Structure 1
């Protein structure tokens, strides 16, 4: 992608998303939940035109944060139970969320009501697919599950699905509110500028 398409607003938005992910990914189950899944969905929505650099950059950041967290406890990153062969399923998992966001933007094409109408189904599909890769990768490919079975996998999937969906929806909902406030401020500024010009 030519560098000319990487505009200052897109870089600013990417920076905000990266900072939110870095700040919350350090403790998946802490007081402030991990925003990574929402960040990838929002990245797909806002940065779809820059997927070739933005998605890999966010993936590198996600792995870097995991590395810092794991090695910070004194553990070896490569032998940690979270970093099994299933860990690398986070690549298609996070891309599923990115694709859901990008698909929603394409579906809406500057029609806010269509975007809002499609938000819940897109988010549900993106989270369900992401969870399928992330949880399924860990369940089937790591040594942490002693006797994997389809029934055990299905229960594990169901147990964790709603918490992940809820957290992702919470952050995306906050982003919708911020988006609406920014758009309202832009309209007010444009109206004020138009009034001054007239």
Structure 2
């Protein structure tokens, strides 16, 4: 097996998760949008691949949005969510990727310290991502008439918790799978050694 095979598998799964959750392919049973968590998890697992994996995931996100919006019979450029602020999703998702990459550089295995770093990295990444994504929409979109600092702050705080919880659930699942993989791999290695 090629050394990159596990990371390619992770990228494939993350792309599927983002595509399915962002496109709402399961109608009323679609999971919440996993995009923020996908970029955080990708930043953790796909170190060294950022030059091509990050733009590929961005292209997938935009492609899914284009497909969904055009599928509703609406011109992509005239949709409520697409404004000058839409392009701030690139640095917003970059903040999520950077948080995952920061965590990876400080990760040496599951521990309580690692869990604390995970929580801090995720919260800070979501705060920055939300600031860029929500702030750019609020201040640059024609959808918000007469923007004010108080209105922006209310909007920011109203939506922060749902985005943090959604990203947190997905990242918690990924962290659980990471820990399970770390626990199972030595057992499989020991079994292989005894089989020979």
TM-score clears 0.5:
yes
Pick closer, same or farther for the CA change 1:79–1:156 going to 2, 3 Å.
Answer: same
How many angstroms does 1:75 deviate by?
0.0
Separation in 2 of the partners of 1:24 and 1:6? 29
Separation in 1 of the partners of 2:192 and 2:24? 45
Instruction: Find the counterpart in structure 2 of residue 9 from structure 1.
Output: 6
Instruction: Find the counterpart in structure 2 of residue 88 from structure 1.
Output: 87
Instruction: Find the counterpart in structure 1 of residue 192 from structure 2.
Output: 193
**TM-score under structure 2 normalisation?**
0.93
Secondary structure in structure 2 of the residue aligned to 1:83: coil
Matches within 5 A, 1:93-132: 93-108=92-107, 110-113=108-111, 114-132=113-131
Matches within 5 A, 1:94-173: 94-108=93-107, 110-113=108-111, 114-173=113-172
4+ runs deviating over 3 angstroms: 27-31
Q: More displaced, 65-74 or 177-186?
A: 177-186
How many angstroms does 1:27 deviate by?
3.5
Secondary structure in structure 2 of the residue aligned to 1:143: coil
Instruction: Find the counterpart in structure 2 of residue 57 from structure 1.
Output: 56
Pick closer, same or farther for the CA change 1:141–1:166 going to 2, 3 Å.
Answer: same
Q: More displaced, 26-35 or 42-51?
A: 26-35
- 1:134-193 CA distance string (max 9 Å, x none): 000100000000110000000000000000000000000111112222222222110111
Separation in 2 of the partners of 1:152 and 1:194? 63
How many angstroms does 1:6 deviate by?
8.2
The 8 Å contact of residues 36 and 96 in structure 2, kept in 1 or not, is answered as yes
Pair 1:22-2:29 in alignment: no
The 8 Å contact of residues 6 and 50 in structure 1, kept in 2 or not, is answered as no
The 8 Å contact of residues 105 and 115 in structure 1, kept in 2 or not, is answered as no
**How much is the aligned-residue C-alpha RMSD, in angstroms?**
1.8
- 1:13-47 CA distance string (max 9 Å, x none): 11111001001011499541011100000000001
Separation in 1 of the partners of 2:145 and 2:83? 14
Aligned length: 192
Unaligned runs of 5+ residues in structure 1 are none
Separation in 1 of the partners of 2:17 and 2:182? 21
